[in-house]
Amino acid sequence: MPRLHVLCPAIGCVLGALAATPLRAWALDSAPVAERVGPEALEPEPPPRELDVSIGARWTHVAGRASPDTLPGLTNVETAELTSRLLLGSTFAYCAGLDAHAGGSDTGAAYGATLTPVGVGVRGARGAFVALCGGAGGDRTGSSVPWGYVFPAELSFGLSLGPLRPVGFARATWVAGAPERRSGSPTLSFVDELEAGLSIRVGAQRRYWKETSAGAGPAVGAFYSEFMGARAVSVTLTFDLSGAR
């Protein structure tokens, strides 16, 4: 008897669904022609797009200096970070992004934001992409790195490798408004600042519909940067989300 109490509602739901199907079809067939919905009345589908967002913390350590007078007093920087990249288009896409950070250092507050509204990219399956973006912004790190207007050019990529999603980038930056920050890269003399890194998310990019995929999970990253004649290494711990259609 207890089993009947469980089965009866379930059977009723199935029968109700089966009965509703012919009734719905009959209602549509008997509706006036003027009330029927045609393809032209349907809302257009949104354009294909992909969005990657990363939120977390970053620790930066100055590991090498051109001279003892380089960046006096600055050894560690701790910041909260937000990074986002948007691609609009199917195979060939328009790329835009926003980066922001805020925190502290040995010599004072560290903060900055950069908008990259100009870029192009190529998209692949399950959120894979390669993109080249550029833009402008500003940043400062205590009294050691004065405020400057930054103009970065970034090459980035993202992949879906089973349960992992690696995202990497290489960025060259030119600085205005702070002469002491000019030609600060020991590796590339024509670049004021240089940075590259790789972050790996633990969390598969799963396909939910034919052309829609999404994923989320914690990520760990390692970065290398050059600025004002110094070399620095960074470690990040973030929560990353991505969606594509």
Residue 143 pLDDT exceeds 60? yes
- What pLDDT is attached to residue 38? 53
Cβ distance 221 to 191 under 8 Å? no
Return the domain boundaries, the chain.
Answer: 2-41, 49-244
Contacts for 81 with CB less than 8 Å, ≥ 6 apart: 54, 55, 56, 57, 58, 99, 100, 101, 236, 238
Strands 49-65 and 230-244: antiparallel
The pLDDT tens digits for 151-203 are: 999 999 999 999 999 999 999 999 999 999 999 999 999 999 999 999 999 99
Please tell me the distance from the alpha carbon of residue 199 to that of residue 48, in angstroms, as a whole number.
Answer: 25
CATH T-level fold of 49-244 = Lipocalin (2.40.128)
Please tell me the distance from the alpha carbon of residue 160 to that of residue 126, in angstroms, as a whole number.
Answer: 7
Residue 2 pLDDT exceeds 80? no
The pLDDT tens digits for 7-63 are: 333 433 433 333 333 334 334 444 454 455 555 555 666 678 999 999 999 999 999
Please tell me the distance from the alpha carbon of residue 97 to that of residue 131, in angstroms, as a whole number.
Answer: 11
Using a cut of 0.95, tell me whether the model's pTM lies above it.
Answer: no
* Amino acid letter for position 66: A
The pLDDT tens digits for 94-122 are: 999 999 999 999 999 999 999 999 999 99
